[in-house]
Structure 1
Amino acid sequence: MPRPDFCRPLVIAACILAGVPAWAQTVYRCPGNHFTNALTPKEAEAKGCRVVEGGNVTIVESRRPAPAARPSGAAAAPAAAPAGTRIDPNEQRARDSDARRILEAELRREEEALAALRKEYNNGEPERRGDERNYQKYLDRVAALQADIARKEADIASIRRELGRLPAAP
């Protein structure tokens, strides 16, 4: 009588498991906190390894991070002062004023872009273009304008927060 098809995978799995040696499932802890399951019991005993019992062990090999490369040739930009060192107050004021000037210029650009978007948006009824014969294209453009306006408003709010964190201008 032939065996049903559903028994074949079970028979194959049983044959495979029967062929796995018992030492392949044993995890050893060797000197130097080196864990392995690739040793026979004789090899483990010769190296002074002990069997790890009482739970599963997961071993993940990782690479060591590469040291940071220094730029060659040209002098590197001055790095921020290490923690605990003092920065000259005049230099800090200069840095703060540069940061304020940059943020204010960026704020002006973003506000101008927002004004242009709001003008194009026209209170939710922008002018239809010639390439928008299909009404869905028009609706998609209106939705994109709304999203762009919301994004610009969020950008402006974040720039204002950054400006608020800076010390007051002298």
Structure 2
Amino acid sequence: MPNNLLASLFLLGALMTATPAWSQIYRCVDDEGHVTYSNVVANKNCKRMQLEPANSAVAPARTTGRTPGAAANPTPVDFPKVSGDAQKARDNDRRTILNQELANEQKALEQAKKELAEQEAVRLGDERNYQKLLDRLQPYKDKVALHERNIQAINKELANLK
């Protein structure tokens, strides 16, 4: 007898989890015109909404070995292709441009550091409060930090070319 009871409880539990949870949803408008949604009729201005059940099934993941972007956007057959020599030439041009930008940023960084050092050496009369000095120097420090970040970004791009 206990086995039948256990089997019945198991079957009942399985059926309860397998059935979808249905409830009625009502759109209610109060006297002031405010709209609320509820599963309980709040006033006479409630109307039952006709909703389709949500699909809870999850599609299985495809394992194609390609990235999701590549799978979703395949390359068209008539897409122009670049020869290896043309790509090498483009890469060399890009490397040349990046090296020029790197040299310019390094010069700008040295200039910004020089300006910061000059400003740090000067103490104005109204800067008895140390915060005023810090506030005056902050734009110079920001400029140095900007050029340092630019140099890091250019070096990263150059490393990706190799």
TM-score (norm 2): 0.49
TM-score (norm 1): 0.47
